[in-house]
Structure 1
Amino acid sequence: MSFSYTSVPLYFNHIRILTLSPSESAETRPSCSLEAVDLEEAPAFTALSYAWGDASQRTSIQVNGKDLSITSALALALRHLRLPDRERRLWIDQICINQADDDEKASQVRLMRQIYSEAENTVAWLGEEKDGSDEVMRFIQEAGREGFKIGLRDVPRDDYASLRWHVTAAFSNLDSHDLDVAEGDPLGKKKTDLCKLIDSRYSEQWDDMLDHLYLLFARPYFRRGWIKQEVVIPRTLILQCGRQTVGGDEFVSFVRLDSFISEAKRQQWTARITRMQQEDREALIKGKLDAAGARTRSERLSATVAKAQVINSAQFNERFGLGQTVGIRSRYHMGGHWQEEMTLAFMLKTFASDLEFTDPRDRIFGLLGMASDTSAIQIQVDYTIPWQEVYADAIKRIIHAGYVDILYDIYSAPSPPTSLPSWCPDLNIAKAGIIKKYTFLSSHPFSAGGPPLPSHRVPSAQQFSSPPTLLIRGFQVDTVLTTIPLWTPDSSGSYFADNLTSLKSVLTKLYDLSKLSRSQFSSSSHNLPPSILPSRRAAAAAAADENSALRTAILDHESVSPSSSGGRKRRATVPRMHAAIADLARGIPQLHGAELRDYLNQAQVLQYLAPWFGQRGFIGLGPRETKAGDVVVVFYGGSVPFVLRPDGAKGGPTWRVVGEGYCDGIMDREGVGWGEERVFTLV
């Protein structure tokens, strides 16, 4: 007979606990009992975090003497988790929740945070032993223990960035990794200890383990969306692969250490490849490279390049998502303001679509257990609501709670009118916003809309209509008159061919528009009403600046150091921009100038955002779909402007969101107070 969940009913705040019977044989079919208990009075139990596996591959276990169908992947986990001589209490979602009952599933999802918090420990099951996993698990435990000793488990975000930049600088030099630490640097000892640890035997062992690490972190477990909260919330975390285990503290410390070693290796291999190529050129010029020597050098270079390609591969870099997860785990358990900052918006922009969920609604529901504002925004877990409405409701609640920037933190291509409202990103495919990507870690972030509005000035949320609408307060900056095509590749697919002819064309046209802008502002600013003249003049002065075209092309941002374009950003400086453009004008084919390289890295935003010129004389960037007649607006509390399009399908004054944008001269709240304030109805 088949097991029926009605035989073990659930009441308010109750969960089911599975008691797994002991067995000395791994081949014996798992057998267990299931009982309902009040969560606040539950006996000690272990929660299981795992990948469900292929839903079509199933087997049965005995539950209360009757058959229950589960996935084969879970059955394998049970065989490894059961003890030979005593029972083991477990909470496993696939067994303890009636997956066929949406109401029960919703009520249990609401308890997830409490379940993983109350569990004595949580076992993260990675799968069976294969691909050298026993050896790599032992390596993770040992290296993680050393990382824990130097304090890598709990590293705040800013400290992590500082440590990473130190590693980057130290290991870009092949001859010595000793880098002086500034006197009084609070991270000085940790920086020194970290470089010594990387330089120790773990560096060589990491090389030997690289392929095995790659295979372990490529397992389905690490792509599963639900593991985020299942790794973050538990007090005690244990990772198990086959019979090998790694403690949670050691694992978190290893993931941090792994990211630093990866960066060190990336710098070393880049420097090594550059040196090998230089040595080969010199040997060839001097006639010291015979056929055998050339073959040996070529093989050595190919092996080094292969290693570098592995570490730069997309699948390897997915481990950065794991790094974000363990970072959030540290913040969660630090408590205080660290935990308070972990809002649902923070979770969505951190993970975007880099999660795998069987049910798309879980892209919201699966993060609520970690979010600090779950109670405040009051999202109801309901699996009877279509996923489109779940997304729109969540985004609307986040905005009405005062976080407008969710609209630019994450981005997805425009959806068909029947799918999602234009203002709601599709979380199934959403990525980090374009402007966010190119101004990440800015020392002077944008603040076009100023601080968030007080709650009494935020338009009230509306119930769902068809399509759902969003009311948001802001002001119009300009109306688009014309646009410039994007920076496009040549026929071979290269953006940098023909001495950057395509980019030069975009910059030339943008400069022509900036001259029109200066002319228009100089002739119109004296007609402005006295009441708005000061703030309007501030915007006009910025927009009339002769460097506005150069600034706009790079979102007014450059790297703090021109030789490290992947690090912190700051507002663009005139000397660096002029040096870059001078090199560009000279047509240096190998791009020797660091300023030009950095400028080109930033200017790649022109491959995604199109320059525009407005009726009032402003210039800026907008989505590639931007066209004449679109309006540029700023929402109060928002960091950047948005391009909106009148919605011709509606009888009233409604707007569709085209996307985020940049408008030179108003990015630092210069426009607040002079634009015509209104409530925009977005559909």
Structure 2
Amino acid sequence: MPSDFTYQPLRGDEIRLLRIEDDRSGHRKTNVTRHPLIACSIEHVRLPRTLGESSNQRFKGKEGTWPELPTQHNFGPLFNAGKDLRVDKTHLRKSAHTTINDEAALPWRRPWGDYIALSYVWSQPVGSDKEDRFFITVNDCPFKVTPNLYHALKELKKSQRVQQGFKLWIDAICIDQTNSDERGQQVARMRDIYQSAWQVLIWLGPSDTSTQLAFSALHWLSRESKQPKPMDNFYRESPSVDLRPAFIMWPTYNSPMKKDVYKALYHFFTRPYWRRMWVVQEVAMGNPNSPVLCGDQCISWQDIYQAVKVIASDESRFGREILDSVQPQTLATWSFEVARDRQIRGRKWAPERMWKIQETMMCVQKDQRTFSSASGRRELLRALNLARDALITDEKDRVYGILGIKAVADRVNIKPEYKLSQSIIYSNFAKEIMKGGDLNLLRLASGFGGYVLDSWEMDDLPPSAKNRAVGALTLPVLNATKGRELVPVGVVCNHDIPSWSVCWACAPAPTAQLGGIYQADARLGRSLPIFSRGRASLTTKGVLLDTITSLSASNEKDADPRYPSNTHPANTSTYGDFEATRNAFWRTIVCDTTSEGGEKAPDACSWLLEPRLWQRGIAGVWTNGFGLHSFMARNASLEICGFTIQELIFGRNKFKSKLKSMMGENFYHATEFQRESLSWAVNAMAWRRVFGTRGGRMGMGTCAAQVGDRIVLLRGCNTPLIVRRSGEAWKLVGECYVHGVMYGEISLDKHRLEDITIY
């Protein structure tokens, strides 16, 4: 059965829409596929770029409801006890929305009806037969589709909205994928198409044995989010025993939920859909009522968002249970875990690639409908970081796939041209974003971060040893052996692009993003950058502020023996006396902000100077090798502002300082705030280097930094940058935090403004 459907050209502002026909003949099978055909038809409709509609007008689907969304739930199967912990009636709600039958006499929103935009992945569903072929008919012509799309159409054919007459927009069918010109034109219209749809429907794929359990858990978590104190009294806490110095046992937290529930949630969050590049823009154009379908299971996008907020707020326990359900950790008795997002080899287990994706997607969606901040910098960086970490088949779509997102569309005016090279596309994109004078895109650029010594993990052990008891004994012995391989921190980029143009195809070191209210350039004035075509350079005004003279290792396992490096450490501190320098130090290691960003670090975070945190850490908190005690083990001798790290933490008396550092005592009974502040410090420091400067300053920056690099403040960039001399100009190394210059302290009264050219 050849696919002999012929596309007719689109004219003007036309798009194609697909209608699933109510045709009994579509149930017959053919000799080339064992699956029933689904009869469809294509029609061309006009979709003006500016659509106006009265908010008072009533039409079919006005309330945006999806009738298949469940209104009653039985949460008992989620729990070991067989019954829901929260005995209330909030989950037995009846819908007060208009029904399909009530809408029969209402007009359509458009003269030609209305449509649903489908958001899905093209890839093969897990467990499907790769040799199997799936067909539908389009205008009575055979049309081959992917298995995932076939299953989506099969499910949608049963939905009340499609039976009501809603059409579908599906990129694989409604765009002639063999016509590169049409493809580029339609990609440029993605924002209009998804934003103008009655609903964006999210299709995760066919259901599996765990889907029903996962959706039930998400509904429960969404309901839990409405409690005054979500997850309060959820865990059963084991008793703690404190008989120091002889014996100590910290409390553990036992969940009443079945282990299968956590495993089902893991499989939900690791579905291919969530990592797909185009999903970022498609979901952004939707709304909180968007239905999310997985086989015959359904939930609203808003309920998923409320559920992941609960998981994120209890990540060290509930989130850890999700991850441990499929990859047990070597030490089961740790009460809390932090910094899993910072691991290199374990990135597939990172929360940033699971429930934090949905949380960020909802923020991007909200950004579409609200007035952004004066600059929209935070909204822009949020969208760009999502796109950078997404899965893609064509690397050019890392740019083209987000052109419809408001924070990008407000700055960038380019049309998709797939004939251009990847390097040109990335450079042009960077120019468009920065041409107005906002250079904060430079904060995402980063050089290669070097190597760390590889370590054995549970996945590396033979099946017989993949358990906590054996792993806890075996892994430390294996990791103590010599001759371990080197693991790159990020991807070595070989693409021919200037250092000021972010390479979206090459993953950087997995650092935490800094969301502080920085204004380092506040007193430097404003100007527009100049881009030179000949040498691919960026020239703007800036201040060469200082030079890095001492530098820490980026990790305890940093493979470069030069670090920590004290080449020419400063003997003085610009911050004042010893206590003032200690205060500057704790603010530096958290980059003077919090994990949520948007504020300065509270003074209470000064407790991070507690010596026991730098000896063995908090009892019961697993830091994945990024703890403050791990930093101290490698960098105690690092000198910044006239003091060593060891002196700043344990005191200036060298004998007492050395003695304290060797005593090795844990910090016990940490409060929730103390755990959270430690977690942020550990995340902020991971894969960054603490440095001292010639001028007596301290800071923390990219792991690609080297001794001798310069610190520069540029007009239009709200953080300092690290640059490296390259001939008569500079190469951009990455962003940094420098204490004492982040809030406009540097003025042109005492510093010279000059042209800074970056290749």
**CA deviation profile, 1:164-189 (whole Å, cap 9, x unmatched):** xx76998899499xxxxxxxxxxxxx
**CA deviation profile, 1:204-240 (whole Å, cap 9, x unmatched):** 4576521111112211111112112222212441111
Instruction: Give the SS at the match of 2:202.
Output: strand
Aligned to 1:640: 719
Query: How far is 1:320 from its partner?
Result: 1.0
- Measured in 2, the distance between the counterparts of 1:609 and 1:663 equals 12
- Measured in 1, the distance between the counterparts of 2:510 and 2:339 equals 27
Query: Quick check: 2:291–2:301 contact (8 Å CA) kept in 1?
Result: yes
**CA deviation profile, 1:417-453 (whole Å, cap 9, x unmatched):** 752211222222345885x64xx455xx443222684
**CA deviation profile, 1:312-361 (whole Å, cap 9, x unmatched):** 9853612111111123334434x344799487723345425221121212
**CA deviation profile, 1:364-418 (whole Å, cap 9, x unmatched):** 2222222245144323322222222222222222223343222224645386575
Instruction: Give the SS at the match of 1:661.
Output: strand
Aligned to 2:290: 237
The letter for the 2-side match of 1:220 is: P
TM value normalised by structure 1: 0.69
Aligned to 2:22: 22
**Is it true that 1:677 corresponds to 2:729 in the alignment?**
no
How do residues 164-203 of structure 1 correspond to structure 2 at under 5 angstroms? 174=237
**Is it true that 1:392 corresponds to 2:427 in the alignment?**
yes
How do residues 250-265 of structure 1 correspond to structure 2 at under 5 angstroms? 250-260=303-313, 262=315, 265=318
Among residues 120, 124, 133, which one is paired with 2:202 in the alignment?
Answer: 124
- Measured in 2, the distance between the counterparts of 1:622 and 1:142 equals 41
The letter for the 2-side match of 1:217 is: F
**Is it true that 1:406 corresponds to 2:441 in the alignment?**
yes
The letter for the 2-side match of 1:640 is: T
Instruction: Give the SS at the match of 1:127.
Output: coil
Among residues 336, 345, 349, which one is paired with 1:315 in the alignment?
Answer: 349
**Is it true that 1:514 corresponds to 2:570 in the alignment?**
yes
Query: How far is 1:130 from its partner?
Result: 0.7
**Is it true that 1:358 corresponds to 2:433 in the alignment?**
no
Aligned to 2:91: none
**Is it true that 1:470 corresponds to 2:546 in the alignment?**
no
Instruction: Give the SS at the match of 2:11.
Output: coil
Instruction: Give the SS at the match of 1:398.
Output: helix
- Measured in 1, the distance between the counterparts of 2:380 and 2:151 equals 36
- Measured in 1, the distance between the counterparts of 2:699 and 2:427 equals 29
Aligned to 2:218: 140
Query: Quick check: 2:590–2:680 contact (8 Å CA) kept in 1?
Result: no
**Is it true that 1:75 corresponds to 2:167 in the alignment?**
no
**CA deviation profile, 1:35-71 (whole Å, cap 9, x unmatched):** 2211145521121111101498654432223233322
Query: How far is 1:461 from its partner?
Result: 4.5
Aligned to 1:35: 43
Among residues 432, 452, 458, which one is paired with 2:528 in the alignment?
Answer: 458
Shifted more, 553-562 versus 134-143: the winner is 553-562
Among residues 685, 689, 692, which one is paired with 1:609 in the alignment?
Answer: 689
**Is it true that 1:95 corresponds to 2:173 in the alignment?**
yes
Query: Quick check: 2:711–2:722 contact (8 Å CA) kept in 1?
Result: yes
The letter for the 1-side match of 2:415 is: Q
Aligned to 1:155: none
Query: Quick check: 1:148–1:250 contact (8 Å CA) kept in 2?
Result: no
Aligned to 2:734: 659
Instruction: Give the SS at the match of 1:669.
Output: coil
Relative to structure 1, is the Cα distance of residues 7 and 427 closer, same or farther in structure 2, using a 3 angstrom cutoff? Answer: closer
The letter for the 1-side match of 2:529 is: P
- Measured in 2, the distance between the counterparts of 1:316 and 1:487 equals 20
Aligned to 1:523: none
Shifted more, 630-639 versus 358-367: the winner is 630-639
How do residues 37-56 of structure 1 correspond to structure 2 at under 5 angstroms? 37-40=45-48, 42-54=112-124
Aligned to 2:521: 449
Aligned to 1:12: 12
Aligned to 1:377: 412
TM value normalised by structure 2: 0.63
Relative to structure 1, is the Cα distance of residues 603 and 53 closer, same or farther in structure 2, using a 3 angstrom cutoff? Answer: closer
Instruction: Give the SS at the match of 2:309.
Output: helix
Query: How far is 1:598 from its partner?
Result: 4.6
Q: Which runs of 5+ in 2 are unaligned?
A: 29-34, 49-109, 240-252, 323-327, 450-491, 615-648, 652-656
Instruction: Give the SS at the match of 1:254.
Output: helix
The letter for the 2-side match of 1:118 is: S
Instruction: Give the SS at the match of 2:406.
Output: coil
Relative to structure 1, is the Cα distance of residues 665 and 125 closer, same or farther in structure 2, using a 3 angstrom cutoff? Answer: closer
Aligned to 1:424: 501
- Measured in 1, the distance between the counterparts of 2:117 and 2:362 equals 18
Instruction: Give the SS at the match of 2:742.
Output: coil
The letter for the 1-side match of 2:361 is: T
Aligned to 1:325: 361
Query: How far is 1:29 from its partner?
Result: 1.6
Query: Quick check: 1:483–1:628 contact (8 Å CA) kept in 2?
Result: yes
Query: Quick check: 1:448–1:670 contact (8 Å CA) kept in 2?
Result: yes
Query: Quick check: 2:687–2:702 contact (8 Å CA) kept in 1?
Result: no
Relative to structure 1, is the Cα distance of residues 116 and 446 closer, same or farther in structure 2, using a 3 angstrom cutoff? Answer: closer
Aligned to 1:193: none
Instruction: Give the SS at the match of 2:283.
Output: helix
Relative to structure 1, is the Cα distance of residues 39 and 206 closer, same or farther in structure 2, using a 3 angstrom cutoff? Answer: farther
Query: Quick check: 1:343–1:371 contact (8 Å CA) kept in 2?
Result: no
Aligned to 1:188: none
Relative to structure 1, is the Cα distance of residues 634 and 357 closer, same or farther in structure 2, using a 3 angstrom cutoff? Answer: same
- Measured in 2, the distance between the counterparts of 1:420 and 1:242 equals 43
- Measured in 1, the distance between the counterparts of 2:756 and 2:167 equals 55
- Measured in 1, the distance between the counterparts of 2:751 and 2:591 equals 32
- Measured in 2, the distance between the counterparts of 1:101 and 1:136 equals 40
How do residues 299-314 of structure 1 correspond to structure 2 at under 5 angstroms? 314=348
**CA deviation profile, 1:82-105 (whole Å, cap 9, x unmatched):** 249956621100111112222211
Query: Quick check: 1:621–1:661 contact (8 Å CA) kept in 2?
Result: yes
Query: Quick check: 2:15–2:44 contact (8 Å CA) kept in 1?
Result: yes
**Is it true that 1:486 corresponds to 2:589 in the alignment?**
no
**CA deviation profile, 1:545-569 (whole Å, cap 9, x unmatched):** 546765676562559999x99x983
**CA deviation profile, 1:133-182 (whole Å, cap 9, x unmatched):** 124324434653x35866xxxxxxxxxxxx9xx76998899499xxxxxx
Query: How far is 1:262 from its partner?
Result: 4.4
Q: Which runs of 5+ in 1 are unaligned?
A: 151-162, 177-198, 270-298, 496-501, 519-540
Percent identity between the two aligned chains: 21
* Equivalent residue pairs, number: 563
Query: Quick check: 1:476–1:634 contact (8 Å CA) kept in 2?
Result: yes
Query: Quick check: 2:5–2:143 contact (8 Å CA) kept in 1?
Result: no
Instruction: Give the SS at the match of 1:326.
Output: helix
- Measured in 2, the distance between the counterparts of 1:316 and 1:207 equals 19
- Measured in 2, the distance between the counterparts of 1:45 and 1:600 equals 45
- Measured in 2, the distance between the counterparts of 1:599 and 1:243 equals 39
- Measured in 2, the distance between the counterparts of 1:348 and 1:33 equals 35
Aligned to 1:556: 588
Aligned residues: CA RMSD: 4.8
- Measured in 2, the distance between the counterparts of 1:665 and 1:310 equals 27
Structure with the largest fraction of helix: 1
Relative to structure 1, is the Cα distance of residues 128 and 678 closer, same or farther in structure 2, using a 3 angstrom cutoff? Answer: same
